[in-house]
Structure 1
């Protein structure tokens, strides 16, 4: 059922809860941001409180969409598992509906971001889109035939956890060799720190931007150094882009989308990540010149795309 008027979108993360009243054009009319409680039993109530705060003065609010970092069931109701939040089988929809007296839709946060980019951003002119969010981890969402693909049990699109390297690096999901351990912001930073520990002279620019130690190097320092032309930083972007491109090629072999949208923190670096990712994708895709290559672009909606996407999904509960 489509809901006209205003909806509230919520972006739930391990450290913050962002909520906003969103109109049908994707404009955020009011917003609040609160700290995510450390106690998992208090998080759902904190979400409901944020919704109540942000909707004050907006009588036209009709529904709430919550984007949560975790596995959400097919009914878009229960968060089955969210390790960063300490949740197992959390009945999030029921709790927030009871507190706000509004209909609620719960969705995986990366799916919500993909939907926001599909409706309002870089995927708006395509019916088939894959968004890959290259943040601390590697997430994403799949749009096919203009619909969000969720899978039979609601947990499709977990892009970061296919095993790209058998018996590779350990992953927080319990497996080894997940692509997230190679094509993510955390992997990008790890490689920078390893390079600095191995050859501090070559990493002088990165070390100077941090606190002088390898552990003081963060992703933003690699970006800043790369924008200034530092050779090591540019090599690090080439390496991370190669892994992202490999992920795109693997996904294209299965899904054959019209466009890949790179989002997340590294997506905000624009061509620094998009150029090597696209080159790697074209090289790795089987079939070569016999294939039609998808466009590879970076996200355009901005950091609040998950909130905006969740709000829009609430219109079609």
Structure 2
């Protein structure tokens, strides 16, 4: 890309950048970002107004079944390389303390927290980015070895919230303040509040919170007294049984399911597992809306791939019958079934 053809602003650059991602052109995408920096656009703006929204669009294209998993992975890799190039180009000198940034155990969406890490670095923090799926014990061991001023933890999927809570509590026992972010905590951070942890909606907000330790530590306690009734723990113990039972009923009631290929069977088991995991997480935070939102999302995802609503309705009906003595799970399942389009209530 020559100077004559380079975009002159972030609005135009966004469209061109997405084209480079679609073409899997890593060099052109990197040149575009560096060209913006050379033109005087601040590095933080390149990260937050170019890379971040482009990555959100990549996820939407996958959800609409316009891009394959391979295309999504390729685009994500390119954006990771662009973030690295922007960071190397900016090279800010650290003037503040150390912050550790990591994904929750089992969380593999590493680019959003990487953007947070780079924004913190641009604002003068010494940042250690631990990447995707960091086990709680390993994170705590790292915190004991290195004197961190704060930990920023990311969670993209609400079904990981019980594990997120374990990591949050482990960090607190190390006396390191925690800020969390990501869609996994709700668009408005409501599940972060339920867990009793500071939440930031975006990278700049996270940076401002970390700079104010009092605000970071001044968080109302969590609201998890309902966990004393053991409903969540019972659901987790019965996970395999629930999946196997739903699969058996699907095969009995839908003859075509008996002829599934290995790939179709794996995908079905994975979807059933996600239903159970989201249900358990909704019970953990005592918020049925989490499960309803998941069901609506699943309808869109599977619908874009030609999967009928009945493929979701059947397991929800099965789980509702099996878990009728689990009050919070039963309520969430009833609301989930009510959210299905065209299904008799």
Structure-1-length-normalised TM-score: 0.33
Quick check: which one's helix share is greater? 2
- Of structures 1 and 2, the one scoring higher in RCO (CA 8 A, sep 6+) is 1
- Based on CA coordinates, which of the two structures has the bigger radius of gyration? 2
Quick check: which one's strand share is greater? 1
Structure-2-length-normalised TM-score: 0.31
